C-alpha cells in the first residue's frame, strides 16, 4: 500500500466534492446541511430507499445531489448494520414482540404463508422507520453542528489561497 493513499482516497471522494461546491459559491452552512442529510438519509432502515430519499430531499430543499449521494454512499456499511438496530428500537418503542431474523426460520415462514410473511416484515419495516424518524432529526442537527466548523475552515483556507493567487 502506498503511504498516504488513505488520505488521497479521503480527499478525492469527500474533500474534493466539498471544495468544488465551496468554489462554486455554496455556503459552508448549506454544505454542512447537505452532508448531514446525506449521512442521516443514508441510514434509513429500508433497503433501496436512501437513494430515492436523497433525490427527493435534494430536489425539495435545493441541495447538491452529488454531495448528498457521496455521503449517503459512504454510509452503506453503517446502513446495513443499523437496519436491525432500528427495527429492534422500533419494536421496543411500540411494545411489539421481537421478530426472529434466523434465515432458516424466515425461509420457512415465507414458504408457509407468503402473505403473512409480507405483513410481518412490513411491520418490522414500520418499526425501523418509526425509530429512525425519532432519531434522524436530532442526528442531523448534531452532525451539522459537528461538521460546520471544519467546512468553514476549509472555505476560509480556499479563500486565502484565492487571495494569494490574485
Sign of CA dihedral 144, 147, 152, 158: negative
Q: What whole-number percentage of the chain has pLDDT above 90?
A: 57
- Phi then psi dihedrals of residue 115, to 5 deg: -70, -45
List the single range of 15-24, 44-53, 61-70, 153-162 with lowest mean pLDDT: 15-24
Predicted local distance difference test score (pLDDT) of residue 6: 58
Domain boundaries, the chain: 5-165
pLDDT over 60 (residue 1): no
User: What's the pTM?
Assistant: 0.83
Cα atoms found within 13 Å of the Cα of residue 125, Cβ hemisphere only: 10
Q: Do 73 and 42 contact (CB within 8 A), yes or no?
A: yes
Q: Do 57 and 63 contact (CB within 8 A), yes or no?
A: yes
Query: What is the mean predicted confidence (pLDDT) over 115-131?
Result: 90
Q: If you count them, how many residues does the chain have?
A: 166
Closest-CA residue to 73 (of 54, 90, 58, 92): 54
CA geometry: angle at 90 spanning 84 and 92, to 5°? Answer: 105
Amino acid at each position: 500500500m502506498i503511504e498516504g493513499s488513505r488520505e488521497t482516497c479521503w480527499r478525492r471522494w469527500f474533500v474534493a466534492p466539498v471544495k468544488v461546491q465551496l468554489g462554486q459559491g455554496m455556503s459552508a452552512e448549506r454544505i454542512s446541511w447537505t452532508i448531514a442529510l446525506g449521512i442521516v438519509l443514508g441510514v434509513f432502515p429500508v433497503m433501496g430507499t436512501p437513494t430515492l430519499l436523497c433525490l427527493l430531499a435534494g430536489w425539495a430543499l435545493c441541495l447538491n445531489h452529488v454531495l448528498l449521494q457521496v455521503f449517503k454512499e459512504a454510509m452503506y456499511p453503517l446502513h446495513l448494520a443499523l437496519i436491525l438496530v432500528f427495527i429492534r428500537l422500533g419494536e421496543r418503542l411500540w411494545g411489539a414482540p421481537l421478530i426472529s431474523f434466523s434465515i432458516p426460520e424466515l425461509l420457512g415462514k415465507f414458504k408457509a404463508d407468503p402473505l403473512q410473511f409480507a405483513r410481518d416484515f412490513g411491520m418490522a419495516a414500520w418499526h425501523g422507520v418509526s425509530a429512525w424518524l425519532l432519531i434522524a432529526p436530532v442526528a442531523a442537527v448534531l452532525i451539522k453542528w459537528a461538521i460546520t466548523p471544519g467546512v468553514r475552515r476549509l472555505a476560509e483556507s480556499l479563500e486565502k489561497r484565492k487571495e494569494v493567487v490574485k
